[in-house]
Amino acid sequence: MKTRHILAGFYVLLVLFFLYGPLLIMILMGFNKSPLYTLPIQFDLVWYAKLMKNERLLQAGLNSVLLALAVSVTSTVLGTLSAWALSRFTFRGKNLLQALLVPPITIPWLIIAIALLLMFFWLGIPRGLFAMYLGHVGVSLPYVILLMSARLQGSDPDLEDAARSLGANPLQTFLKVTLPIILPGVIGALMFTFTISFDNFIISHFLAPPGVSTLPVEIYSAIRKGFTPEINAISSIIFVFSAVLILLASRRIEFT
């Protein structure tokens, strides 16, 4: 029994190292003074100092954050309302609409990016942050609708009927009864869509005009020209910020 416990603990350690080992190495290299990653590590903040002067990387990071915020809010609001309509109402074509939510998730983003580029060209929408915003919302919506539909199916519709019977209108019923019940799902949808948008490279790469880019596109361009530890620095900042955000959100969901 003791041997089994040791093997199980060793297996868990291997899994954790596989998941977090590369991230820890990246963070350590961000503090390494040598640009060639020579060992032993000489701890220094030189790459963080240079990052603060790298306007292209900082502007790309700002573009990614603002774009992801706009996409997450828009996708979550539209997706939640759509899921609520699909879960609470019956209308012609409902089954078809639900079936059409699956293909956009399974279709490779490369194909979606090409299709969006062609469609925006025909519609006269130029490449830029607005085109990327529309593209990111389009790929995020199906995930939100499916996620919130599952959350709404687990809620009791009788509570909404009781609120309406007491005189609440549909908007009041949704805000005061339905929304508090599905709030953990809403928070999860916000975080998930933020990650999808912030991390999206393919659609952003196709829809980004010259001179305007997001962080993934800028990092890709920088790597092609020659890797710099400044990328380790900004990646470490993003990782720490994401970890703190996830911990705070998980505590909020736990106590909701």
pLDDT in tens, 98-132: 777 777 788 888 888 888 888 888 888 888 888 89
pLDDT in tens, 180-207: 788 888 888 888 888 888 888 888 888 8
Residue 140 carries which side chain, given as an amino acid letter? Answer: S
Asked if residue 89 belongs to a domain, the reply is yes
Which region, left, alpha or beta, applies to residue 235 given φ > 0 means left and ψ of -120 to 50 means alpha? alpha
**28 found inside a domain:** no
User: Mean pLDDT over all residues of the chain?
Assistant: 80
Q: What's the number of domains the chain is made of?
A: 1
First to last CA, the chain: 39
Confirm whether 20 is domain-assigned. no
User: Does some domain include residue 14?
Assistant: no
Mean pLDDT for 169-190 is 78
2 in a structural domain: no
Tell me, yes or no, whether 35 lies in a domain. no
> In the prediction, which pLDDT does 71 show?
92
Residue 52 maps to a domain? yes
pTM: 0.79
Task: State which residues form the domain around 67.
Answer: 45-254
Burial of residue 48 (number of CB atoms within 10 Å: 0-12, 13-18, 19+): middle
Confidence check: pLDDT of 74 > 90: yes
Cis, bond preceding 40 (omega within 30 deg of 0): yes
pLDDT tens-digit map of 197-234: 888 888 888 888 887 788 888 888 777 766 677 777 77
